[in-house]
Chain A
């Protein structure tokens, strides 16, 4: 099946700094990728839809200036958490559908654990 990777798998940063998370589709092209956030014992919450070659679409309540998304190629989307604060500590997961397969199945990355101290 299709594979999505994320890097890094975990990161610790100081409050006020920025962190970039990469999401790659390894064996298929992804014109669309999704970014989710998951707090402990909570559901995955969609943050934004990343579109190759155009601006990301953010869900209500998600600050687009704080969570910068760039989808520069058909296999790479990046999420940058700017001026991170402890409340941004969470598990960030990306996903991509392989639309060429005709299935609505989502392929998820392994996630990135962000801890802001």
Chain B
């Protein structure tokens, strides 16, 4: 069955540094991969989507890479701030990209210390 792993349950970094989160998947070839932010007691908020034919995507201080050979996506937050502290989830399309439902990883809880 499809499996998604986010390698760290928690990541602590200093303000101003770059945070790098990893998402690995197996038994699947997704059409796209998404990253979401989830704050405690709230629903996830969409951040970035990267398609299978894209290597890299950027949005302000965020950067996502997608390596379909390694079956891995990296999510970077540059110049991190305490306000970036949250849980970050990666998600793959569940049924070949057309139906819209998602399979989520467990998430990585990022803490940015001032």
Contacts and interface: CB of A to CB of B under 8 A. Distances in A.
What secondary structure prevails in chain A residues at the interface with B?
Answer: strand
A57 to B, nearest CB: 9
Contacts of A34: 100-102
Interface residues of A, number: 26
Contacts of A41: 9, 106
B52 to A, nearest CB: 12
A37 to B, nearest CB: 11
Contacts of A6: 43
Contact of B46 (A43, A99, A105): A105
Contacts, number: 64
Contacts of B36: 108
Q: Kindly name the residue among A41, A43, A49, A93 whose own CB sees the greatest number of chain B CB atoms within 10 A.
A: A43
B93 A104 contact: yes
* Interface range on chain B (Cβ under 8 Å from partner): 20 to 34
A42 B4 CA distance: 13
B49 interface: yes
Interface of B: 4, 9, 32, 34, 36, 41-46, 49, 89, 91, 93-94, 97, 99-107
16 contacts: A32-B100, A34-B101, A34-B102, A43-B104, A43-B105, A44-B104, A45-B104, A95-B43, A95-B44, A97-B100, A99-B100, A105-B46, A106-B34, A107-B46, A108-B46, A110-B43
